[in-house]
């Protein structure tokens, strides 16, 4: 990992540093996920799932802010380099061949929802992990359990939206 010195293994890092790496990585993922959803909202407002995308974007924005607050509460700091890489990676992910030269392919929102699904799945794991360790960190486990439930609901919503888009994607 980027924070290790030569010859130092991850298991030798202090637990606090491991927690910081873990939270920074999730913040980077949340940043990329939010960018993807914002782009989808801006470009896919004619889709039958546009309202769901807009709602999900708002909730992911709130979840990302919660994570920033947790990082600050724990006296940790976000990694500007990881956030920059997340933004660059999300933008690079937009550059894909889609079988169309001048307009978006009907496959694009389908693939984008699959990326969103993976991000939300990871987020549910974050909240679950924080719930397990909340007591030791001086945090509220119930808050993280509620956030995990919300992520699981979001995941169900994305899967349902994906199903609706799949019906028209190949026609």
What the chain holds in terms of domains, given with CATH numbers, is 13-169 (1.20.1260)
Separation between Cα atoms, residue 43 and residue 87, nearest integer Å: 18
pLDDT (0 to 100) of residue 92: 54
Report the candidate in 17, 53, 25 with the shortest Cα–Cα distance to residue 126. Answer: 25
pLDDT (0 to 100) of residue 167: 83
Separation between Cα atoms, residue 57 and residue 39, nearest integer Å: 10
Q: What are the b/e assignments for 105-120, b being 16+ CB within 10 Å?
A: ebebbbbbbebbbebb
Residues 13-51: pLDDT tens digits? 458 889 999 999 999 999 999 999 998 998 877 888 889
Residues 71-118: pLDDT tens digits? 999 998 876 665 566 556 655 555 555 544 456 677 888 889 999 999
Q: Mutual orientation of helices 15-43 and 50-73 as an angle, nearest 10°?
A: 160
Residue 125 has pLDDT above 90, yes or no: yes
Report the candidate in 89, 106, 101 with the shortest Cα–Cα distance to residue 43. Answer: 106
């Amino acid at each position: 990992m980027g924070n290790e010195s030569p010859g130092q293994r991850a298991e030798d890092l202090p637990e606090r540093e491991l927690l910081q790496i873990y939270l920074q990585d999730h913040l980077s993922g949340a940043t990329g996920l939010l960018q993807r959803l914002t782009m989808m909202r801006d470009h896919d407002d004619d889709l039958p799932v546009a309202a769901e995308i807009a709602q999900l974007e708002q909730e992911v924005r709130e979840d990302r802010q919660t994570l920033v607050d947790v990082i600050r509460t724990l006296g940790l700091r976000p990694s500007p380099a990881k956030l920059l890489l997340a933004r660059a990676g999300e933008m690079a992910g937009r550059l894909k061949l889609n079988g169309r030269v001048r307009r978006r392919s009907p496959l694009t929102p389908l693939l984008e929802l699959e990326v969103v699904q993976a991000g939300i799945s990871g987020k549910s794991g974050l909240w679950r992990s924080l719930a397990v360790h909340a007591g030791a960190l001086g945090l509220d486990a119930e808050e993280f359990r509620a956030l995990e439930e919300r992520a699981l609901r979001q995941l169900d919503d994305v899967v349902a939206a994906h199903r609706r888009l799949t019906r028209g994607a190949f026609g």
